[in-house]
Structure 1
Amino acid sequence: MTDEERRAAEADCARLIALYANLNDEARWDEVVALYAEDGVMVRPTAPDAPIHGREAILAAFKSRPARTTRHVCSNVVITLESADTARGVSAMLLFTGAAAPLVGSFHDRFVRTAEGWRFAERRGSLTFAP
């Protein structure tokens, strides 16, 4: 893999992180779920022991939540390529929900290159400070 190919893959994975936050804040659940591999896994920062497996289950989890206004702020994004088709990433996350205190945490991501492009194989959130 050339340096240019590596940088392009890292940029594609970092873009997934930002796109995920924006689509999540806009409650565009079908588009959020399309960022996962078909067999992707989501672990919410507020439910670290309850992984959700597969796009269908992830979509159901998003749609079952009560409507709310949110703003996710993601930073300190570092992507590490493991191979031409797999990568890992870590990012800091700050979630504003209005009335509640902000949640501070991080995401540890695994990415996989699919026929659709780079997708989340696993998105594992955690909280740095308990609410």
Structure 2
Amino acid sequence: MTPDQRRAIEQDCARLIALYANRNDAARWHEVAMLYAPEGRMARPTAPDEWIEGRDAILAAFLARPPRATRHVCSNIVIDVLSPVEAVGESAMLLFTGDPAPKVGSFHDRFILTGEGWRFAERRGSLLF
């Protein structure tokens, strides 16, 4: 793999993280779910050991949420390319909600290249405070 190919994968996966935050904040749940591979899985930062598996189940979990205003700020994004079709990443997350204090945590991601492009195979959140 050339350095340019590696950088392209890193950029595509970093963009996926930003799309996830923006679509989540806009409550565009169908579009959020489509960022996952069909068999992808997610664990929310508030429940990092409770996996929600499959794109349909992820969509149902988002649709079941009560409405709320949020703003996710993601930074310190580091993507490690494992192969031409797989990468992992970590990013810091700051979540502003209607709660008095913001929540600070991180996401650990696994990405795979699908026929639809790069998608989350796995997204696991955790809270620091």
TM beyond 0.5: yes
For residues 41 and 2 of structure 1, what CA distance do their matches in structure 2 show?
30
Which residue is 1:48 aligned to? Answer: 48
TM-score by length of 2: 0.98
- Say whether residues 1:120 and 2:124 are aligned partners: no
Instruction: Provide TM-score, normalisation by structure 1.
Output: 0.97
User: Percent identity among equivalent residues?
Assistant: 71
Unpaired runs of 5+ residues, structure 2, are none
State the distance in 1 between where 2:47 and 2:28 align. Answer: 21
Instruction: For residue 95 of structure 1, give the secondary structure of its aligned residue in structure 2.
Output: strand
Q: Could you say which residue in structure 2 is the equivalent of 1:108?
A: 108
* Offset at residue 99 of structure 1 (A): 3.1
Per-residue deviation at 1:70? 0.1
Quick one: which amino acid aligns to residue 97 of structure 1? T
Q: CA deviation at 1:44?
A: 0.1
SS at match of 1:13: helix
* Correspondence 1:98 to 2:98: yes
Residues 97-123 of structure 1, C-alpha deviation per residue, up to 9 Å, x if partnerless?
Answer: 023311100000000000000000000
- Kindly indicate whether residue 10 of structure 2 is the aligned counterpart of residue 10 of structure 1: yes
The DSSP-based 3-state class of the residue aligned with 2:83 is coil
Residue of structure 1 in register with 2:38 after alignment: 38
Which 4+ stretches in 1 moved above 6 angstroms?
A: none
- Computed over aligned residues only, the root mean square deviation of the Cα atoms, in angstroms, reads 0.6
1:71 and 2:56 correspond? no
Alpha-carbon distance between aligned partners in 2 of 1:72 and 1:122, rounded to the nearest angstrom: 19
Q: How far does the alpha carbon of each residue in 1:40-62 deviate from its partner, in whole angstroms, 9 at most, with x for none?
A: 00000001121000000000000
Q: Distance in 1 between matches of 2:99 and 2:11?
A: 34
| DSSP 3-state at the match of 1:82 | strand
Q: Aligned partners of 1:62 and 1:100: how far apart in 2? A: 23
- Give, as a single letter, the amino acid of the residue that structure 2 aligns with 1:76: N
